[in-house]
Amino acid sequence: MKRGPLSGVRVIEFSALGPVPFCTMLLADMGADIVQIARPGMRTDADDFMQRGRRIVPLDLKVPADRDTALELVGHADIVLEGSRPGVMEKLGLGPDVCLARNPRLVFGRMTGWGQTGPLAATAGHDINYIALAGALDAIGPAHGAPVAPLNLIGDYGGGAMFLAFGALCALWEARNSGQGQVIDAAMVDGTATLMSLLCKLRGLGQWHDSRGTNLLDGGAPWYGTYRTLDDRYVAVGAIEEPFWQLLLTQLDISSDSLPPRSDRARWPVIRAALAECFSSRTRDAWAAHFRNSDACVSPVLSLDEAARHEHMAARRSYRIDSGMLRPAPAPRLSRTPAVPAKISEVSSAKIVLEGWRDAMAQR
């Protein structure tokens, strides 16, 4: 099999939590050579597949000799990723100024929740805090209930890890043309704000209201939401466009003339009640069979285990079982240099890593 598209890209990951290891996993799956600098004695969990694809080099960065070894590794790297609070790497003597002085072509990626600057930069937080401040959390949840935390998908991974990976690869491309590295200030609040672009547009056009559960894409519209079925499971409906909506009504045996016009927001509850009554008459799987291969945009709401077994997901091998655990396959899919699930992390030594990197550079 062809090697991944990032083959030959050398990445130093300073051990961190949340979005940094997820970002590094993405790069590893695409073939990047990852070295994680971790505290000595730090336990490696062989079942933590998000830690795959690394060679772990134990170094105590508070010890001058180990710090010098880390800097030597940085001198041979293309990308450095770190997720400490602002100022921590500088106190260790491994801040971006020091690292770029050692390696002028280096891309130095910094991942935080609040960013490197601003009144909250030095304070603690988690995904829910970042998406709350960025305006995303307030838009998620039922009309007459509290905001609902969407797991940690928006802040940690969508607004954090994905933007860190994107920024790192953008800066790497530019460095290979200019010969100059740079620092990436990847903040989850910034990434989350960018993810809100469509909602900002709709709001500016007067097509989005600040009240939760009253809009097109937040579960307010009867044709974009979930419905309970006879067996207390759910189906998801996404029949936004008129042809899909009409097809949905036809397959539910509901006459469009019996419903208020879709443009009348005040009467959306009437439409929702009609759909809810209909969907409550059959089980989730019966509805899934009924709408199979239909453009009415109806899907069963599946658990993770069910999702892995679904015929479409199984055909694409979107999930796999490895060592008894359900694991997602790498994404996206490249035709010529596909991603390959990286191997489980292994402990190595800085000497072995440096020898390999020097040999590779000499062969360039």
Q: How far apart are CA 36 and CA 13, in angstroms?
A: 5
Contact 182, 108 (CB under 8 A): yes
* DSSP percent split of the chain into helix, strand, coil, nearest 5: 40, 15, 45
Q: Fill in the amino acid letter for 162.
A: M
Contact predicate 25/116, CB 8 Å: no
Torsion angles phi and psi, residue 337, rounded to 5: -125, 70
What span, in angstroms and rounded, lies between the C-alpha atoms of 37 and 58? 6
* Bridge-based pairing state of the strands 107-112 and 79-82: parallel
Residues known to be catalytic: 126, 156
Q: Is 195 in contact with 140 (CB distance < 8 Å)?
A: no
The pair of three-digit structure tokens given for residue 235, joined into one six-digit string: 């189906």
- Please give the radius of gyration of the chain, using alpha carbons only, rounded to the nearest integer: 25
C-alpha distances in Å from residue 283, one per residue of 25, 135, 151, 278, 308:
39, 36, 27, 11, 20
Buried b / exposed e over 165-196, threshold 16 CB at 10 Å, is: bebbbebbeebeeeeebbbbbbbbbbbbbebb
Angle at 299 between CA 296 and CA 303, to 5 degrees: 175
Helices (H), the chain: 19-29, 64-74, 88-91, 96-102, 127-133, 162-178, 188-195, 197-204, 242-252, 268-279, 284-290, 304-309, 311-316, 350-362
